[in-house]
Structure 1
Amino acid sequence: MEPQFADTAPGADPGADPVVALLTGPGAPFAVARGERGGLEYVDGPQTLREFVETTWAFGDTDFLIAEGKRLSYGEFFAAASALARRFVEEYGLRPADRAVVAMRNHPEWQIAFWAAQLAGLVAVPLNAWWTADEFAYALGDCEPGVLLVDGERLERVGPWLAGQGGGEERLPWTLVFHHDGDLPGGDRFERYEDLPAADPAFGPPDVEVGPDDDATIIYTSGTTGRPKGAVATHRAHMGAIANPRYFAALSALRRGQIPGQGPTPVALLTFPFFHVAAFTGFYAAMSAGGTLVLLRKWDAGKALEAIREYRITNYGGVPATALQLLDAAEAAGDAMPTLAMFNTGGAAAPPDLVARLTARFGERVEPRNGYGLTETLGGVTANFGAEYRAHPESVGRPAPAVEVRVAGAGGEEVPEGEVGELWLRGQSVIRGYWRDEAATAAAFAPGGWFRTGDLATLRDGRVSVVDRIKDMVIRGGENVYCVEVEAVLHDHPDVLDAAVLGVPHPVLGEEVAAVVQVRPGSGLDADEIRAHVGKSLAAFKVPAHVLLREAPLPRNATGKLLKRELRGPVGEAVGETVAPQCPASDGPRQPPAISG
């Protein structure tokens, strides 16, 4: 049976909040209406990514990207992207809907390649630059690209897949290689980007037709639990993803008594890899305002501090792990980061104490911000910022106007406010489905176009709080233990640098709680202290029965997500070797021997 939800539109009736009404009411810049797919859509704005990027030409000589001291202006960027788009159409013979794979680190040319694909009407496929040759081969075989845009580091990894494409050179995709001084594979379909003619700013992009409902991107999921799936998004969806951060920025300015768009132009240190949707939120926001993005070749907290000073950076964006490292480095150096005004985290759950640390050090000068988004929503669809974030650090905030939120029970029914259920989303920026995978698409969407996120959440007074992934929740003796909740408490300890909580099998309880904790070197922190710390804040059944101590960093993917699959084996082996099964105690958590390693 289809769940019965009230068909109301958040943001369409702002009620008593005049600030929201100013932005979302009829005729306002972020007014919404219900679209043909049943979800909410923004009424105004560009209709395609091609239209959007064409507007950035107006920023002319303003710096768009700064990387390793080199600067690329908006004018230079647009000329280069237009020239490459013309090459795709006129020299390579590519046509709209052909796939263009972009596989490189955060070089400025990544942006040129991605936007050239949009100007040519192609479907851009940004691949994870950290992938192995086998992972690249899977995705390349799945999406069947017409052109590969790779840097020298990735060329070697895509080489085995290219070598395996039989049937003559005409079956090979065009391959354009960036930042590579070595030899290229033989054949006319391989070119070096640096050998192409210089872009002529007098020429624009090719004349191709692109519509709002045409596919714009295929973005592969992180694959933390299996083969990645290609999430397919239309231009219309990306227009929603562009409008969402613009809305949150405007709402933030109004909350602080400022006029949106009239402050200083943002200069942002963007540390997310470009292939991840958290980066899309960042560079869409910058491009909308004519802002500048500063890039680091690789993350280094000390170099980040230097960049903030040198370029007078106003906005920071990164995963919580790098955010905490930046705060540590600033405190150690006595650096007040005086130009910094925005501190934005995403890509992984932020520990609640992060905003407390930020406030303790900077007061209200630096605005904290986090939010919630997925590959399938093209980045952030909720945001928590400013005073509300300080008051509710456990929340990921309220949804954007073109996003509807539901918390559903096991049978699809809407749960009462404040109770835990699966988070469902519906709105403009949600993908249309998975590439060539009808079964996965059908499983991901509930009737009415609701996307099942797989995350457990609560909804209180319009604020969303994510408590865990469904698959990560530990059920101990019939009691639900949300790993994110326990991890947040562990992060509160000053000598805990990182933590992962997971379930291990138990013959009586079903599962028990285990924690892998990265401790500060030389701290002397032991398992009993960790358990006592957790026990002060959480019920006894949530206290980890098993604790694995380590000084080495926990495994995370390129976007900061914990790779718990890499921890389950070692934890299971350690638990099996050192702990005998016991019946549940009625007066508190079991206390098996600590597991160190």
Structure 2
Amino acid sequence: MTGLTYEEAVKHILNTEAIFETTTAQVAGVNFRVFKNIPTDLRALLQASREPQDDGKAEYLVFQNQRYSYDAFCNDINKMTHVLQDRFGIKPRDRVAVAMSNCPELLILMMAISSIGATCVFLNAWWTTEELRYALQDTDAKVVFADDTRSKRLQPLQDELELTLIGTGHAQPHPSFDDLMQVETRTEWPTVDIDPDSDFAIMYSSGTTSDPKGVALTHRGAVNAVFTWLVQAAIAPLINPPDDPNAEKPRPVTMITTPLFHVTATHPGFLLSLPAGAKVVLMDKWDADTAVNLIESEGVTRFVGVPTQSADIQLAAQKNGKRLETLAQVVAGGAKRPAAQVGDLAQAFPLAEIATGWGMTETNAIGIGLSGADYVAQPGAAGRLFPPLQEMLFLDDDGQPVAQGEVGEMTVKSPCNMRCYINKLDETSQAMQDGWFKTGDLGYIDSDGIITIVDRKKNIIIRGGENIACLDVEGALHQHPAILESCAFPVPHERLGEVVGAAVQTRSGMTITLEDLSEFLSTRIARFKTPEHLWIQTTPLPRGATDKIDRRALRSQCIAELGLNT
């Protein structure tokens, strides 16, 4: 059977599948194309997903020695909604924070908070106490659920910020998540009205400023993103028909390995699994050998992780003699996969489709993607814009569209875009105009609709999928008494893609070492932001024509000393 072209497949699905019918909705005075027949909020998405999850009977979530059916998972969510409402008085639009590594409790809390119209504030589990202080003050969240490690970091803030801390670990010196759940018996769904354009979550994204930006994501944005990915799943067999169209397909099983405080895990990992009828295998920390064993034992069909993790499972599978034949898709998100890795993965996993996805916290993770033969043929490309809701322009420095094939700033419009950066009116107005979001990424589109990303306008380092603002690092460096000025930049790294490098000018008569600096920064910024390469000089850092530090020239100079290519 001959497959359809990409355009033909999209047209067929949109014309024949009622769930993908579109209409127009006005949000904050701007008209957007949206799906007409999908759930309006995350609670409704949970309810509608019971049918594809074998009417609730399917095994849904696997974590270490814990296993949840879909109904059991939803029952725990509903128990927590009553706890939040009755014990803590949480109302629609209130903000409740979660600070923990990956675990079922985090997913239960995320959906319970959003199911009563409140907003889940995701706190980066790697943040220091000071970084946690900033986000809690920024959101004014007073109720915080935290595991043992994060509880220790939060306790110095408890009295100062008047926090109610609820523990989810073993050392629970405050109300316990488990205790609260054990005494609650009600499992009926909450009935509070949810505004589709209210915030279901605030997630933090590092930008070009030193402070992280709280990205407000709405129910409408998240659910429309989920169904945009479902369109991709629906068109795939039309483009590449199976050898036996009557053969029974295995149940989809997705593995979540990246932190749940990032959209790569919450959106195309967790939220997409619900209506897709997929089982979720959740890992709390990355270990390639463990991942390979879980893929084999749980029959994982879809692996989504940062490019580093794709390379890790390839090596671990080869080392352990595992073929991982259940894998049907190996997807990279959170950072660009090195082009050389694409062919290697396709060879290592011949039964799997190798894919890449580009999206941002600000877009609810939706954006562009490429997979299969198209990706192998163009491993440096980012992909096609996912239909049917999104629009994209490539703009020059004056905000005017550039010609096809020319490089411009990727600017996207869709109902999936964020509502705003909280408490940052200037940054919001600079990034968003009339529904269009300026991504800060530079790219171009070819005649086949394939987009290639060539650079970032923003000074961001992406270390293993984790965004790091250069100014965030520099702000911490300037706190050291020996440092007069500094400049942070990405250094290529074979496994992580990029790591943090920094050049500093020291004050007269003062010295510093990388080891000294790492110890100094340990309580000021998260460990992953700490420079792994340091260049020290006593003269001023190089300047450009406007007397600003010439970051590009300095980076090229420093990296050349390592014998690496920029």
Per the normalisation by structure 1, the TM-score is 0.75
| In the alignment, structure 1 residue 112 sits paired with structure 2 residue 99 | no
Q: Secondary structure at the match of 1:405?
A: strand
8 Å contact from structure 2 (residues 83, 184) kept in 1: no
How big is the alpha-carbon RMSD for the aligned residues of Structure 1 and Structure 2? 3.4
SS in 1 for 2:114: helix
Instruction: Provide the rounded CA distance (Å) in 1 between the counterparts of 2:490 and 2:112.
Output: 46
Instruction: Point out the more displaced range, 382-391 or 416-425.
Output: 382-391
**2:518 equivalent in structure 1:** none
User: What aligned pairs does 1:52-451 form with structure 2 within 5 A after superposition?
Assistant: 52-58=45-51, 59=53, 60-165=56-161, 172-184=162-174, 191-198=175-182, 203-222=187-206, 226-257=210-241, 263-279=249-265, 280-363=267-350, 365-400=351-386, 401-446=388-433, 448-451=434-437
Whichever residue aligns with residue 108 of structure 2, its letter is I
Give the C-alpha shift of residue 83 in structure 1.
0.8
Which residues of structure 1 form unaligned runs of 5+? 1-13, 166-171, 185-190, 474-482, 488-499, 503-513, 521-560, 578-588
The residue identity in structure 2 corresponding to 1:388 is D
- Structure 1 counterpart of 2:48, one-letter code: T
The answer as to 2:19 corresponding to 1:29 is: yes
Any conservation in 1 of the 2:324–2:349 contact (CA below 8 Å)? Answer: no
Contact 1:249 1:260 in 2 (8 A): no
What's the offset of the Cα at 1:61?
Answer: 2.8
CA deviation digits over 1:39-90, x for unaligned, max 9? 3222220011111112234432322221112212211111111011011112
CA distance in 2 between counterparts of 1:384 and 1:260 reads: 27
Question: Alpha carbons of 1:98 and 1:202: their partners in 2 closer, same or farther (altered >3 Å)?
Answer: closer
SS at match of 1:209: coil
The offset of 1:411, in angstroms, is 0.7
**CA distance in structure 2 between the aligned counterparts of 1:151 and 1:332, rounded to whole angstroms:** 34
User: For 2:538 and 2:246, how far apart are their aligned partners in 1?
Assistant: 55
AA matched with 2:46: V
**Distance change in 2, residues 1:468/1:596 (3 Å):** closer
Partner amino acid, structure 2, of 1:133: T
1:566 to 522, 531, 535: 531
Question: Is the contact between residue 120 and residue 205 of structure 1 (CA under 8 Å) also seen in structure 2?
Answer: no
Gaps of 5+ in 2: 471-488, 496-525, 542-555
Identity across aligned pairs (percent)? 30
Aligned residue type for 1:72: Y
Cα displacement string for residues 460-514 of structure 1 (whole angstroms, at most 9, x for unaligned residues)? 12222111111459xxxxxxxxx99xx9xxxxxxxxxxxx9x9xxxxxxxxxxx9
Distance 1:262 1:215, change over 3 A: farther
The 1:366–1:224 alpha-carbon spacing in structure 2 relative to 1, beyond 3 Å, is farther
Q: Give the distance between the partners of 2:5 and 2:435, measured in 1 at CA.
A: 26
Code of the residue aligned with 1:394 in structure 2: it is G
Three-state SS of the structure 2 residue aligned to 1:25 is helix
Q: 1:254 to 1:336 in 2, by over 3 A?
A: same
Summarize the Cα distance change of 1:320–1:419 in structure 2 as closer, same or farther, 3 Å threshold. Answer: same
- Count matched residues: 486
In the aligned structure 2, how far is the partner of 1:380 from the partner of 1:304?
25
Moved over 6 A (4+): 199-202, 259-262, 561-565, 574-577, 589-593
Give the conservation status (yes or no) of the 8 Å contact 1:265–1:289: no
Q: How far apart, in 2, do the equivalents of 1:298 and 1:123 lie?
A: 26
User: Where does 1:495-510 land on structure 2 (aligned, <5 Å)?
Assistant: none
Distance, in Å, in 2 between the alignment partners of 1:229 and 1:164 is 22
> How much has 1:286 moved relative to structure 2?
1.2
Counterpart of 1:46, as a letter, is: P
CA contact (8 A) 2:157 2:163 kept: no
Task: Return 47-56 or 413-422, whichever deviates more.
Answer: 47-56
> Is the counterpart of residue 454 in structure 1 residue 412 in structure 2?
no
Partner secondary structure for residue 89 of structure 2: coil
Taking the aligned partners of 2:144 and 2:529, their CA distance within structure 1 comes to 32
CA shift in 2, pair 1:163/1:359, >3 Å: same
Aligned to 2:456: 469
Distance 2:260 2:416 in 1: 18
**Structure 2 CA distance, aligned partners of 1:224 and 1:591?**
21
SS where residue 17 of structure 1 aligns? helix
| Secondary structure, aligned partner of 1:285 | helix
- Correspondence 1:483-562 to 2 at 5 A: 516=491, 518=493
- State the TM-score, normalized to the length of structure 2: 0.78
Distance 1:407 1:193 in 2: 48
Q: Is this contact kept in 2: 1:133–1:158, CA < 8 A?
A: yes
Aligned to 1:40: 33
Change beyond 3 A, Cα 1:29–1:22 = farther
Q: Is the 8 A contact 2:158 2:164 kept in 1?
A: no
Residues 5-20 of structure 1 aligned to structure 2 (within 5 Å): 17-20=7-10
1:83/1:200 contact within 8 Å kept? yes
Tell me what 1:554 maps to: none
8 A contact 2:100–2:150 mirrored in 1: yes
Q: How much does 1:314 deviate?
A: 1.2
- Alpha-carbon deviations, 1:176-219, whole Å to 9, x = none? 211223433xxxxxx10111243878631222111212221111
1:137 counterpart letter in structure 2: R
Deviation, 1:261, is 13
**Which whole-Å deviations, capped at 9, do the CAs of 1:277-334 have from their partners, x for residues lacking one?**
1112111221112211112231111111111121121111110011111111222233
Distance 2:452 2:72 in 1: 42
- 8 Å CA contact retained: 1:367, 1:385: yes
Q: Secondary structure at the match of 1:298?
A: coil
Cα offsets for 1:143-179 (capped at 9, x unmatched)? 01142121122111111221213xxxxxx34432112
Change (3 A) 1:199 1:230: same
Determine helix, strand or coil for the equivalent of 2:108. Answer: helix
Question: d(CA) in 2 for partners of 1:592 and 1:361?
Answer: 32
- Structure 1 pair 516–386 and aligned structure 2 pair: CA distance change class (3 A): same
Q: Take 1:237 and 1:55, find their aligned partners in 2: how far apart are those partners?
A: 17
Contact map agreement 1:86 1:120 (CA 8 A) in 2: no
Does the CA contact (< 8 Å) of 2:151 and 2:165 recur in 1?
no
Amino acid across the alignment from 1:31: E
For 1:515 and 1:138, how far apart are their aligned partners in 2? 25
Measured in 2, the distance between the counterparts of 1:30 and 1:127 equals 34
Note if contact 2:222-2:416 (Cα within 8 Å) is conserved in structure 1: yes
Q: 1:57 to 1:181 in 2, by over 3 A?
A: farther
C-alpha distance in structure 1 between counterparts of 2:231 and 2:415, whole Å: 14
Q: Distance in 1 between matches of 2:560 and 2:90?
A: 63
Checking the alignment, whether the CA contact within 8 Å between 2:167 and 2:173 is kept in structure 1 is no
Which residue identity is paired with 1:248?
Answer: Q
Aligned-partner SS, 1:75: helix
The letter for the 2-side match of 1:312 is G
Paired amino acid for 1:206: P
Maintained 8 Å contact 2:33/2:414: yes
User: 2:560 and 2:451 mapped to 1: Cα distance?
Assistant: 38
